[in-house]
Chains A and B, each alone.
Chain A
Amino acid sequence: MSSHEDVVHHSNAEGAGYGHHDHDEHGPAPGLMRWVTTTNHKDIGTLYLWFSMIMFFIGGAMALVIRAELFQPGIQIVDPMFFNSMTTMHALVMIFGVVMPAFVGLANWMIPMMIGAPDMALPRLNNWSFWIMPFAFAILLSTLFMDSGGPAGGWTLYPPLVLQMGDSFAYVIFAIHFLGISSVMGSINIVATIFNMRPPGMTFMKMPMFVWTWLITAYLLIATIPVLAGAVTMLLTDRFFGTSFFSASGGGDPVMFQHIFWFFGHPEVYILILPAFGIVSSIIPTFARKPLFGYDSMVYATASIAFLSFIVWAHHMFTTGMPLAGELFFMFSTMMISVPTGVKVFNWVATMWKGSMSFETPMLFAIGFVIMFTIGGLSGLMLAMTPADIQYHDTYFVVAHFHYVLVPGAIYSIMAATYYWLPKWTGNMYDEKLGKMHFWISTIFVNVLFFPMHFVGLAGMNRRIPDYSLQFADWNMIATIGAFGFGFSQLMFFWIVLKCIKGGEKATGEVWEGARGLEWTVASPAPYHTFESAPTIGSATLTR
Chain B
Amino acid sequence: MRSSVLRAMLPALLIPVAGSSWADWGALNMPVGVTEVSRDVQGLHMLIFWICCVIGAVVFGVMIYSMFMHRKSKGAKPADFHESTTVEIVWTVVPLVILIAMAIPAAKVLIKMEDFSGSEMSIKITGYQWRWQYEYLDEGIAFYSALDATQNAARQQNADIDLEQFGDTYLRDVDNELVVPVGKKIRFLHTAADVIHSWWVPDLAVKKDAIPGFINENWARIDEPGIYRGKCAELCGRDHGFMPIVVRAVPQEEFDTWVADQKSAMANADAAVERNWSQDELLAMGEKIHGQSCAGCHQQEGQGIPGMFPAIAGSDIATGALDTHVQTVMNGVEGTPMAAFRDALSDTELAAVVTFQRNAFGNETGDVVQPLAVRESRAGKPIDPIRQSLLDVGSPAASPAASPAASPAASPAASLAVTGVN
Please provide the chain A residues from 345 to 366 with a CB less than 8 Å away from any CB of chain B in the complex: 345-346, 349-359
Interface: A466 (CB within 8 A): yes
Collect the chain A residues with CB atoms within 8 Å of residue B198's CB: 319, 394
Collect the chain A residues with CB atoms within 8 Å of residue B114's CB: 324, 327
- Cα A472 to Cα B27 in complex, Å, equals 9
- Cα A490 to Cα B48 in complex, Å, equals 35
Contact between chains at A339 and B168 (CB < 8 Å): no
Contact between chains at A356 and B56 (CB < 8 Å): no
Choose, from A31-39, A157-165, A410-418, the stretch at the interface. A157-165
Choose, from B231-239, B251-259, B354-362, the stretch at the interface. B231-239
Please provide the chain A residues from 332 to 384 with a CB less than 8 Å away from any CB of chain B in the complex: 332, 335-336, 338-339, 342-343, 345-346, 349-359, 367, 370-371, 374-375, 378-379, 381-382
**Minimum Cβ distance to chain A for residue B101 (Å):** 11
Contact between chains at A290 and B171 (CB < 8 Å): no
- Cα A345 to Cα B238 in complex, Å, equals 41
Question: Contacts A354-B79, A355-B76, A378-B56 known; A166 to B24 CB distance under 8 Å?
Answer: no
Contact between chains at B159 and A357 (CB < 8 Å): no
Which of A324, A346, A470, A544 has a CB less than 8 Å from the CB of B170? A470
Question: Contacts A247-B213, A367-B67, A394-B234 known; A465 to B241 CB distance under 8 Å?
Answer: yes
Question: Contacts A248-B212, A356-B72 known; A74 to B241 CB distance under 8 Å?
Answer: no
Residue from A161, A381, A393 whose CB has the most chain B CB atoms within 10 Å = A161
- Cα A349 to Cα B76 in complex, Å, equals 16
- Cα A394 to Cα B154 in complex, Å, equals 25
Contact between chains at A464 and B240 (CB < 8 Å): yes
Interface: A462 (CB within 8 A): yes
Contact between chains at A370 and B63 (CB < 8 Å): yes
Contact between chains at B157 and A164 (CB < 8 Å): no
Contact between chains at A467 and B242 (CB < 8 Å): yes
Which of A249, A253, A382, A472 has a CB less than 8 Å from the CB of B49? A382
Interface: B40 (CB within 8 A): yes
Q: 1/0 per position for B180-218, CB-CB distance to A under 8 A? A: 000000000010001110101010010111011110110
Contact between chains at B92 and A339 (CB < 8 Å): yes
User: Size class of A's contact patch?
Assistant: 35 or more
Choose, from B105-113, B271-279, B282-290, B410-418, the stretch at the interface. B105-113
Collect the chain A residues with CB atoms within 8 Å of residue B78's CB: 288-290, 354-356, 514
- Cα A375 to Cα B216 in complex, Å, equals 34
Choose, from B80-88, B345-353, B398-406, the stretch at the interface. B80-88
Choose, from B28-36, B262-270, B311-319, B364-372, the stretch at the interface. B28-36
Contact between chains at A254 and B60 (CB < 8 Å): no
- Cα A356 to Cα B78 in complex, Å, equals 5
Contact between chains at A469 and B170 (CB < 8 Å): yes
Interface: B71 (CB within 8 A): yes
Which of A154, A158, A378, A458 has a CB less than 8 Å from the CB of B55? A378
Which of A327, A464, A475 has a CB less than 8 Å from the CB of B110? A327
Contact between chains at B240 and A390 (CB < 8 Å): no
Choose, from A48-56, A77-85, A185-193, A521-529, the stretch at the interface. A77-85
Interface: B99 (CB within 8 A): yes
Collect the chain A residues with CB atoms within 8 Å of residue B79's CB: 290, 353-355
Choose, from A5-13, A101-109, A291-299, A427-435, the stretch at the interface. A291-299
Question: Contacts A160-B196, A378-B52, A382-B49 known; A75 to B158 CB distance under 8 Å?
Answer: yes
Interface: B118 (CB within 8 A): no
Q: 1/0 per position for A450-481, CB-CB distance to B under 8 A? A: 00000110111010111111111011000000
Contact between chains at B45 and A358 (CB < 8 Å): no
Contact between chains at A331 and B59 (CB < 8 Å): no
- Cα A152 to Cα B114 in complex, Å, equals 33
**Minimum Cβ distance to chain B for residue A422 (Å):** 22
Please provide the chain A residues from 379 to 411 with a CB less than 8 Å away from any CB of chain B in the complex: 379, 381-382, 385-388, 390-391, 393-395
Which of A75, A160, A357, A466 has a CB less than 8 Å from the CB of B71? A357
Contact between chains at B102 and A161 (CB < 8 Å): no
Question: Contacts A164-B195, A355-B76 known; A147 to B170 CB distance under 8 Å?
Answer: no
Interface: B167 (CB within 8 A): yes
Contact between chains at B207 and A391 (CB < 8 Å): yes
Collect the chain A residues with CB atoms within 8 Å of residue B242's CB: 80, 467
Which of A345, A354, A462, A514 has a CB less than 8 Å from the CB of B233? A462
- Cα A331 to Cα B71 in complex, Å, equals 41
- Cα A456 to Cα B171 in complex, Å, equals 15
Contact between chains at A350 and B214 (CB < 8 Å): no
Collect the chain B residues with CB atoms within 8 Å of residue A249's CB: 212-213
Interface: B380 (CB within 8 A): no
Collect the chain A residues with CB atoms within 8 Å of residue B157's CB: 75-76, 78-79
Interface: B155 (CB within 8 A): yes
Collect the chain A residues with CB atoms within 8 Å of residue B230's CB: 460
- Cα A75 to Cα B95 in complex, Å, equals 46
Collect the chain A residues with CB atoms within 8 Å of residue B24's CB: 474
- Which chain B residue shows the least CB distance to A154? B235
- Which chain B residue shows the least CB distance to A466? B241
**Minimum Cβ distance to chain B for residue A259 (Å):** 13
Contact between chains at A459 and B27 (CB < 8 Å): yes
Interface: A321 (CB within 8 A): yes
**Minimum Cβ distance to chain B for residue A413 (Å):** 17
Interface: A539 (CB within 8 A): no
Interface: A149 (CB within 8 A): yes
- Which chain B residue shows the least CB distance to A82? B238
- Which chain A residue shows the least CB distance to B208? A319
Contact between chains at A469 and B171 (CB < 8 Å): yes
Interface: B281 (CB within 8 A): no
- Which chain B residue shows the least CB distance to A296? B83
- Which chain A residue shows the least CB distance to B26? A471
Q: List 13 A-B contacts (CB under 8 A).
A: A74-B155, A78-B157, A80-B239, A84-B238, A253-B213, A290-B78, A295-B83, A324-B114, A349-B66, A353-B66, A356-B77, A458-B28, A465-B240
Q: Write the residues of chain B forming the contact surface with A, with a CB cutoff of 8 angstroms.
A: 24-31, 37, 40-41, 44-45, 48-49, 52, 55-56, 59-60, 62-63, 66-67, 70-73, 76-84, 87-88, 91-92, 95-96, 99, 102-103, 106-107, 109-111, 113-114, 154-159, 163-164, 166-172, 190, 194-196, 198, 200, 202, 205, 207-209, 211-214, 216-217, 230-242, 305-308, 337
12 new A-B contacts at CB < 8 Å, known A80-B241, A332-B103: A75-B158, A161-B236, A248-B214, A254-B213, A293-B81, A319-B208, A321-B216, A390-B113, A390-B207, A394-B233, A458-B27, A474-B25
| Top 10 A-B pairs, shortest CB-CB distance | A248-B213, A147-B307, A465-B241, A471-B26, A321-B216, A354-B79, A378-B52, A161-B195, A387-B109, A291-B82
